[in-house]
């Protein structure tokens, strides 16, 4: 099966994040499945089936292929999570709901304009690694300076109580949050 331009862009975007294309057709439990592309990533339980909605025009056929793949993964007791990426014209809500019952579904319209790569990355963000940015100009020297900066940004006794609880462990943070939420909800009632 030849790879169309929009499919190639999706595969390229995911490949830049460590995914690799599987040889087509893939076999799960001895049953062959063929999609526009199928991807996986080392040290990850994701398997991604990419479907070209231009060449796969029949909703029942698409649903049947994904249902078959999901059942095959269940039969071999796979722990992999299934993600379906529909590339091209949008499909019916009925199909999206049906696929959503057995997989994560992402719909990638054919991006246009000079910002196409950014649009694609936004759509596939759930599959891509987080890019953390910081608003700090330089490295923070101590926990105390971080605490002070956060308290300055979020002043209040509740914030200070959470920071104090954080030095005592996760259970204390949970208990402090529970107390704060309980107090908040009780103050909202007449």
Is residue 132 included in any domain, yes or no? no
pLDDT of residue 1: 46
Is residue 136 included in any domain, yes or no? no
Q: Is the pLDDT of residue 2 over 60?
A: no
Residues 161 and 69 in one domain: no
Dihedral of CA 21/42/121/94: which sign?
A: positive
Is residue 133 included in any domain, yes or no? no
The CATH number that applies at residue 29 is 3.40.1350
Q: Is the pLDDT of residue 136 over 70?
A: no
Question: What ranges in 16-115 are assigned the alpha helix state H?
Answer: 59-75, 93-100
Would the pTM count as exceeding 0.85? no
Instruction: Give the 3-state secondary structure of 120-146.
Output: HHHHCHHHCCCCCCCCCCCCCCCHHHH
**Model confidence over 7-44: pLDDT tens digits?**
898 999 999 989 999 998 999 989 999 999 999 988 88
**Model confidence over 68-113: pLDDT tens digits?**
999 999 999 988 889 999 998 888 899 999 999 999 999 988 766 6
Is residue 79 included in any domain, yes or no? yes
CA pair distance 70, 78, nearest whole angstrom: 10
Q: Do you find a cis peptide bond into 98, omega within 30 degrees of 0?
A: no
Q: Give me the domain span that covers residue 100.
A: 5-127
Residues 105 and 179 in one domain: no
Per the model's pLDDT, the better-predicted residue between 137 and 183 turns out to be: 183
Q: Which two tokens stand for residue 120?
A: 């694609």
Residues 33 and 123 in one domain: yes
Angle at CA of residue 20, ends 19 and 23, nearest 5°: 150
């Amino acid at each position: 099966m030849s790879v169309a331009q929009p499919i190639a862009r999706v595969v390229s975007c995911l490949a830049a994040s460590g995914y690799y294309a599987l040889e087509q057709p893939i076999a799960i439990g001895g049953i062959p499945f063929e999609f526009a592309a199928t991807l996986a990533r080392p040290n990850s339980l994701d398997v991604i089936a990419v479907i070209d909605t231009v060449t796969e025009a029949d909703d029942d056929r698409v649903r049947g292929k994904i249902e078959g793949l999901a059942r095959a993964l269940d039969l071999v007791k796979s722990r992999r999570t299934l993600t379906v990426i529909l590339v091209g014209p949008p499909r019916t809500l009925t199909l999206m709901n049906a696929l959503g019952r057995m997989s994560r579904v992402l719909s990638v319209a054919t991006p246009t304009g000079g910002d196409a790569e950014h649009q694609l990355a936004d759509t596939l963000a759930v599959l891509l690694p987080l890019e953390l940015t910081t608003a700090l100009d330089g490295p923070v020297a101590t926990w105390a300076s971080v605490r002070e900066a956060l308290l300055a940004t979020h002043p209040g006794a509740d914030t200070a109580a959470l920071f104090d609880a954080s030095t005592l462990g996760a259970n204390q943070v949970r208990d402090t949050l529970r107390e704060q939420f309980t107090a908040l909800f009780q103050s909202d009632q007449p």
